Amino acid sequence: MTQPVPITFTQTDHSDFAAYDGLLVVLAAHGTPLGEAARQIDALTHGAVSRAHGSDAFGKLAHGAGITLNWPAGVAARAVMVLALPEAATTQEARKAGAAVAAVLDDKGAQVVAASHPRASDIAFGLALRAYRFDYHSETKPAFGSVSMMVDTPERTAQAAAPLAALAEGVFFTRDLVNEPANILTTCDFAARLAGMQELGLEVEILEEADLEALGMRALLAVGQGSESPSKVVVMKWMGGGDEAPLALVGKGVVFDTGGISLKPGAGMEDMTMDMGGAGTVAGVMRTLALRKARANVVGLVGIVENMPDGRAQRPGDIVTSAKGLTIEVINTDAEGRLVLADVLWYAQDRFKPCAMIDLATLTGAVIVGLGHENAGVFANDDAFAAQVVQAARSENEGAWHMPLQPAYDGLIKSRLADIKNTGGRAAGAITAAAFLKRFVADDLPWCHIDIAGVALPPSATDLAPKGPTGWGVMTLNRLIADKFEG
């Protein structure tokens, strides 16, 4: 997997500023004098730093943004960056500052003089998240150089940064999975990558098609029956807490979605390599929990399938029986993710008796129509639980919006021939998808469905990610677990 850029925390040392040949970064605040390190570098650069700091351009910068002085005289550094970041900066401003450094990072690396700044660990975290690169170019770019964070208390800052480093690795794992093309990330390869996390202390179990058939998961199996790649369910367990019931995380893992017989338009279909984004998020969370040795019990389950048109593929009008026993009329084979989730949700609560359950899926285009690429849609059978999820997302600056899920929507997915149909048409499409899933969750189990179709692979770069997958949800769920489920 892609590894985050190496970041070390060292004692603040003003003796080698002139000789350092990478990117040299200092922090400054609007309307306040430069700190000691910035003054020293200003003297070496013949006043370049103070001129930048006193400029109108710097005065207009938002907290976390910076001015880059390329090839300044007096130092070996290829550039000096002056970041606008006061000591009272918020967590998100500090992470944006780190991301600003990463946006101009190259193979020479960087030296960030954070000194006594209280948000040094968040600066490092933002830098790590933004310094991400994934491609299959035949001519590879040089790797990012290492980063030295100069701080007054390196041991204490490194200790604060350790769980954030684990979180960055979890986010990268999710981004890598979403980035992989479907000829690489087959159902078998996906399961093998998850099995590899056993070396981190996770318990991993792979359920094959014969197991799924025995469990009655015919809704999930119907989705994948047109593919040469076998369908699977992977169970990941992290039992770092006491004897309490676990939190269950469930992810949709459609490694490629053609739409099946209800074939999608060709234009843009290449993006359907990301239709396993929910499963990718669950995997990234589980990796994070293992790396940081979380004191919580969490089980992650992902349904891994490929939706292909074939002589054996399911058809519109087919009726399948779910693991719960409910019959489902398949109106549109492109509404396949909810069939996968239905069986895995039922299995998760039946086997593990969780205290709460969350599923994540790139489920509907309708949620993008409603919320764009700024917010995931959060649906729940428990408003208090939904509020906790949304608050965790807000704390991590990941957009999430609580959507309605009243019983009135159930009528839209009522079938003439079966217990339920898999789509209710265009009206309230994201809501009826959630209403479908709700039929497979016990009424007394707090549950949230998070539709991440708009946020998993937005069309442009975000504050903490280059253009491509964001890893949305890894930070939110890690925060939720830390705040609500760890002892």
Report the pLDDT value the prediction gives residue 14, as an integer from 0 to 100. Answer: 79
CB–CB of 297/247 below 8 Å?
yes
- Taking the C-alpha atoms of residue 336 and residue 315, their distance in angstroms, rounded to an integer, is 11
Q: Which residues pair with 161 in a beta bridge?
A: none
Calculate mean pLDDT across residues 41-46: 96
pLDDT band, residue 15 (cuts 50/70/90): confident
Tens of pLDDT, residues 428-464:
999 999 999 999 999 999 999 999 999 999 999 999 9
Calculate mean pLDDT across residues 222-243: 97
Coil vs helix vs strand at 200: helix
Q: Indicate if the pLDDT at residue 338 is higher than 80.
A: yes
Q: Which residues pair with 65 in a beta bridge?
A: none
Calculate mean pLDDT across residues 242-261: 97
CB–CB of 127/96 below 8 Å?
no
Average pLDDT over the chain, rounded to whole? 97
DSSP letters, 408-467, are GGGGGG--SSSSEES---STTHHHHHHHHHHTTS-TTS-EEEEE-TTTSS-SS-BTTB-S
Domains of the chain with bracketed CATH:
7-156 (3.40.220.10), 169-484 (3.40.630.10)
Calculate mean pLDDT across residues 34-61: 96
The four Cα atoms 182, 465, 472, 134 give a dihedral, to 10 degrees, of 20
Q: Indicate if the pLDDT at residue 487 is higher than 80.
A: no
User: For the purposes of burial, counting CB atoms within 10 Å of the CB of 384, is it exposed (0-12), middle (13-18) or buried (19 or more)?
Assistant: exposed
Q: Indicate if the pLDDT at residue 11 is higher than 80.
A: yes
Active site residues: 264, 338
- Taking the C-alpha atoms of residue 96 and residue 302, their distance in angstroms, rounded to an integer, is 32
- Taking the C-alpha atoms of residue 40 and residue 23, their distance in angstroms, rounded to an integer, is 16
Whole-prediction pTM: 0.97
Tens of pLDDT, residues 252-305:
999 999 999 999 999 999 999 999 999 999 999 999 999 999 999 999 999 999
Calculate mean pLDDT across residues 386-395: 98
Report the pLDDT value the prediction gives residue 483, as an integer from 0 to 100. Answer: 97
- In the DSSP assignment, the letter for residue 167 is H
